[in-house]
Structures are given as C-alpha cells and as structure tokens.
Structure 1
C-alpha cells in the first residue's frame, strides 16, 4: 500500500511531463478513482489515507493541502521530478490507466460523476461537514457495481 501523497506526486509529475497538467480538483477525483480501481482489480487499497466527502466531491485532505496553493489553476511543478518510485509495475500501470481515462473528461464532468446519486460520495456527503467515506463501504460498493 502507498501513501496518497506519493500517488498524487506521481500523477502530477506524469501529467506535467505529458503536457497535461492537472488541477487539485482533478487530482482529487483521480485519486478517488485510483482507490476504487485498486479495490476492483486487486481487492486492496491503493492508499490508507481517508477520502472525505466534501462539497466538490471526494478529496484526500493531505493531498489537498499539499497542492491547494495552486488554487483552481493547473499544478505545474517547478522542476518535474520523479515521485518515489516504489510502485510495482502493475500498480503504476493501473494508476496511469486511471489517470489517462480521467484526463479524457472535463474536470466538472469528473466532479459530476464522482457525485452521482447513489454513489459513495452521495451516500456520505453531509453538507459542509468533513465526513469520511468509509473504506469498507467502498469495498462493498465495488463488489456490488
């Protein structure tokens, strides 16, 4: 299992190298889908960090605070450096596939999809409160869908 920050750093660096920098909003949704896809593909969590159900969708607090200095703008690292490459090849490939699929969508479409009625965010969101989307609920959701 990895940290959400390490996965986020990999995503940010890779997207910058591809000339497709992401915003913090996009990054948060990509992490959400990485977590769900790890559960679906490997029946394991990509990261232990909690995912919160916030107003603009699922978000990982530690990653949000690391990259919130960019506001709503694209995250462009001053010097794109490789994240700690402790990822196994199959894990990195899944992260990259999820990232590529998410980059095909408009950022607000990602928000809309992550907030669909009956989905995990929808089940957990409670106004402006920071509420965790329980990991076991994620696991059950993936098994059922």
Structure 2
C-alpha cells in the first residue's frame, strides 16, 4: 500500500467510491449532528461502510482499494477530490443525494452505517 504514489489524473466520471462519499455528505447535511464531515472523518466512514458491506453483504460497496496511510485507511480518489478542504469541514454543496451508481439497497445500507457511526468524530473512529 503505497501512500506516496499519485492517484490524480484523467477520470472517466465519478467512481462509486465518490458516489458513496457524496451520499454520506448528503446524510450528514440532513442530520442534526453538530460536527460536519472533514476529509479524515469521511475516509473513516468509507472504511466502515466498506467493511460492513464485505461482512454483511459478502461484497464490496465500491471497487476502489483502501490504502493504509498515516492517519488510517484512505480511498485515494476520494481523498484527492476533497483534499482542498484540508482539515475543514467539507461544504454541504459537495453532497449528492442521487447517483446512478448507487442502488436503493446501497443507499439504505449506507444510511444504516451513517446512523451507527454519525455520533463519532474522526478521532473516535480510529
């Protein structure tokens, strides 16, 4: 797992990992949780969503391989999309409710993961 290699470059459109991330941002924007989502917290939530999908559904939620970075697991393409926000919360304008890449079953699953982990900060999700 190479944390130093570049994952930026031409893209063929949004990935499913990005769709999951933007749906998590949508759920956060609609919740009453005081803490919005930073890129670090988003990466932790993606990790839990992927892990629970593998455990409960027997398949990955998205195809991107998570990498082990200094502060925990990272979906590199998603990290690079939101890295301009640094340690700040990702603006609600980045959220997306609908994506052709997410089935209703996927959305329900992501929502269940959000409900379970929404109260935890990025540090608590470590």
When normalised by structure 2's length, the TM-score is: 0.77
Distance 2:75 2:64 in 1: 7
Q: Which residue of 2 aligns with 1:87?
A: 102
Do 2:18 and 2:77's aligned partners in 1 also have CA atoms closer than 8 Å?
yes
Unaligned stretches of 5+ residues in structure 2: 1-14
Work out which structure has the larger RCO, using CA pairs closer than 8 Å and 6 or more positions apart in sequence.
2
Distance 1:80 1:10, change over 3 A: closer
Q: 1:102 aligns with which of 95, 110, 117?
A: 117
Q: 1:13 aligns with which of 20, 26, 29?
A: 26
Residue-by-residue CA offset, 1:40-87 (whole Å, 9 max, x unaligned)? 111001111010000000000000011111111111133754341542
Unaligned stretches of 5+ residues in structure 1: 112-145
* Higher relative helix content: 1
Aligned residues: 110
Q: Kindly report the root-mean-square deviation, in angstroms, between the aligned alpha carbons of the 2 structures.
A: 1.9
Distance 1:72 1:44, change over 3 A: same
Distance 1:72 1:83, change over 3 A: farther
